[in-house]
Structure 1
Amino acid sequence: MSSTFPGLGQPRGPQFLSPALSPDGHPAVAAGAAVPHVAPAGPDGAPGRPGDPPRWPRMLLAGLTVVALSAGAGGVAGHLAAASGASPEAGPAGAAAGTGGDLVAAADRVLAGVVSVQVSGGGRGASGSGFLIDDRGHVVTNDHVVARGGTIHVVGRDGRRLTARLVGRDPGTDIAVLRVDPGSGLRPLPLAPAGQTRVGEPVLAVGSPLGLSGTVTAGIVSALDRPVRLGGGARQPAVQTDASINPGNSGGPLVNGRGEVVGVNTAIATLEGSGNIGIGFAVPVDRAAQVAQGLIARG
């Protein structure tokens, strides 16, 4: 389905089936795992009879799709598989204190370090978002934004269009690093300390959804350590959020109320025929930073 939004590309990805279900829609549990019992709902919402097939998981998952968030005409749909259970919170007790912060002030600080990423060449284009991580001009974005190659430009808050060089890519974590002139005027964003992001704390997703640069949306951290598969690689823990993220947000930061980056926005889940449904995923900032530093060291 085409779109009138410039650079949107394909808004939906491939069909997605939860690993908790087998292809026929029945529970598929890994060897040695405990099998939970759920009484399926009957026609009027009451518990069904024993032996009735569980209808709602099949109906829901039949229409569930996933999409990586590149907004280019050559946008790449990402494969994502999410496990069904939330995992325990990490970090020391009491770390949630003061996580709210001032979202208005946080947005103002963050926007100074966020860029739109535009890739062109070969008759195809892609676009996404990114953010500065150091004073040497290194910009973190998603691998699927730049994977097809081409000339890369970034546009900052002041509207200046800067040429960027690709430093390195890591498809397995969907992280890539670019470099721009250190004198660009962009401000590096602080990274949240490892283990201190908490379920329920407010967050902002910042980037260029549908090419609308400098867009900020608010939500909360919905879950931590949510296993997802990015770029066809092995499952890895991700931050789940209900902050509205859409094609073009790829590579932009997910930040807390103090303006610290807690993740790199990477993918969303959608129901067939719909857009954002409040389920988005971000690469945790500690992993993204580790990968980025490795790419910088090798590049």
Structure 2
Amino acid sequence: MAVQTGLGEPRGPWFVSPDLDPDGRGGTDPAARERERLLGGWRGWVAGRDGIPGPAAASAAPVPAELVTAAEKTVPGVVSVLVGGAAGGSASGSGFAVDSEQHIITNDHIIARGRGGPVTVELPDGRRYAAEVVGREPDSDLAVLKVPSSANLTSLPLAKPGATRVGEPVLAVGSPLGLPGTVTAGIVSALDRQVRLGDNRHRAVQTDASINPGNSGGPLVNARGEVVGVNTAIATIDGNGSIGIGFAIPIEQVQQTADTIIGKGG
């Protein structure tokens, strides 16, 4: 039995999609389609439960209007990232568009777990594109992808450096457990939190917005819909999933690293 020490080791919330073929593309077998159909019904139940209009939301507390607006602005720019290869490695996560050239920011650990396999990006409307890996920066756990201009993704605005405050409301947006367009709410619970991820130490934005496997690489946005960080890890006790403490790479680091990668890779 593992020895519990504090919050346990922060780790990337990996997710291996059951719908990935060995080549990293979506499965087409009847069982996979049936899983998707069942998940679709479950998504509707979750949406109603979490305050999005629906039968289960009739008695829910009102959602702050600014967070609803922020979610509406953010979801169109967030994608699912699917990585897989014949070598057996596969992983899923999230990402988001940052400019009109269709560059997408995600976590490097998602690409690494794919072991060099092809990278596929799934858009909010279900379209899929093979993505080019423009560049990777393992030390900061960031990578930049690029999809064709025909994807026409909505780019997300970035928050100003140093503008994030403890206590402000935030949304984590991504594809936890393969459920695209999922939005969870919380607050910034700490800034400049020192966390160790693998062999590297990072200064992170800490949040209590729910972050689960598949959220990696997705944006953490403020009530204005501006990206304040990239969701990258969760704290666990004995490795048993999210306990309500998540970490995001601060936007200052994200912008600096992305600008460097894009400048070198085009």
Cα displacement (A) at 1:276: 1.0
Look up the SS of the partner of 2:71 in the other structure: helix
2:197 equivalent to 1:253: no
Correspondence for 2:82 among 100, 118, 130: 118
Structure 2 partner of 1:215: 182
Letter paired with 2:104 = V
Structure 2 counterpart of 1:70: 14
Equivalent residues in 2 for 1:135-214 (5 A)?
Answer: 135-147=100-112, 148-214=115-181
- TM-aligned CA deviation for residue 111 of structure 1: 0.4
Q: 1:63 to 1:266 in 2, by over 3 A?
A: closer
1:104 aligns with 2:71: no
Residues 238-276 of structure 1: CA deviation (Å, up to 9, x unaligned): 100000001100000000000000000000001126321
Look up the equivalent residue of 2:139 and give its one-letter code.
Answer: G
Q: How does 1:211-250 map to 2 (within 5 A)?
A: 211-233=178-200, 235-250=201-216
2-structure distance, mates of 1:295, 1:124: 25
- The number of residue pairs the alignment matches comes to 216
Q: Check whether the contact 1:172–1:231 (CA below 8 A) recurs between aligned residues.
A: no
Does the CA contact (< 8 Å) of 1:205 and 1:265 recur in 2? yes
**Counting helix residues as a fraction of each chain, which structure ranks higher?**
2
Give, in angstroms, the shift of residue 182 of structure 1. 2.0
Deviation at 1:106, TM superposition (A): 0.5
Deviation beyond 6 Å, 4+ runs, structure 1:
none
CA drift of 1:289 comes to 1.1
Q: Secondary structure of 2:166's partner?
A: coil
TM-score (norm 2): 0.77
> What CA distance in whole angstroms lies between the structure 2 residues aligned with 1:211 and 1:151?
18
8 Å CA contact 1:139, 1:178 repeated in 2: yes
CA contact 1:120–1:150 (8 Å) conserved in 2: yes
Q: Tell me, yes or no, if the aligned pair for 2:7 and 2:235 is still in contact at 8 Å.
A: no
1:65 and 1:210 mapped to 2: Cα distance? 21
C-alpha separation in 1, matches of 2:248 and 2:110: 15
The letter for the 1-side match of 2:80 is S
The CA RMSD over aligned residues, in Å, is 1.9
Contact 2:157–2:226, Cα closer than 8 Å, also in 1: yes
Residues 150-195 of structure 1: per-residue CA shift (max 9 Å, x gap): 1111111111011100011101010000000122121000000111
Tell me the secondary structure at the aligned position of residue 131 of structure 2. strand
Alpha carbons 2:8, 2:239 under 8 Å: kept = no
Deviation at 1:101, TM superposition (A): 6.8
Q: 2:245 aligns with which of 279, 282, 297?
A: 279
TM-score, normalisation: structure 1? 0.69
Structure-1 residue corresponding to 2:41: none
Percent identity reads: 60
8 A contact 1:208–1:215 mirrored in 2: yes
Question: Against the structure 1 CA distance between its residues 273 and 179, is the aligned structure 2 distance closer, same or farther, given a 3 Å change threshold?
Answer: closer
> What letter is aligned with 1:252?
G
Q: CA deviation at 1:297?
A: 1.1
**Would you say 1:270 and 2:236 are equivalent positions?**
yes
Larger radius of gyration: 1
Segments of structure 2 that go 5 or more residues without pairing to the other structure are 18-63
Contact 1:171 1:231 (8 Å CA) reproduced: no
Take 2:108 and 2:13, find their aligned partners in 1: how far apart are those partners?
11
> Matched residue of 2:203: which SS?
strand
Unaligned runs of 5+ in 1: 1-14, 16-58, 74-99
- Kindly indicate whether the alpha-carbon contact (under 8 Å) linking 2:4 and 2:238 is maintained by their aligned counterparts in 1: no
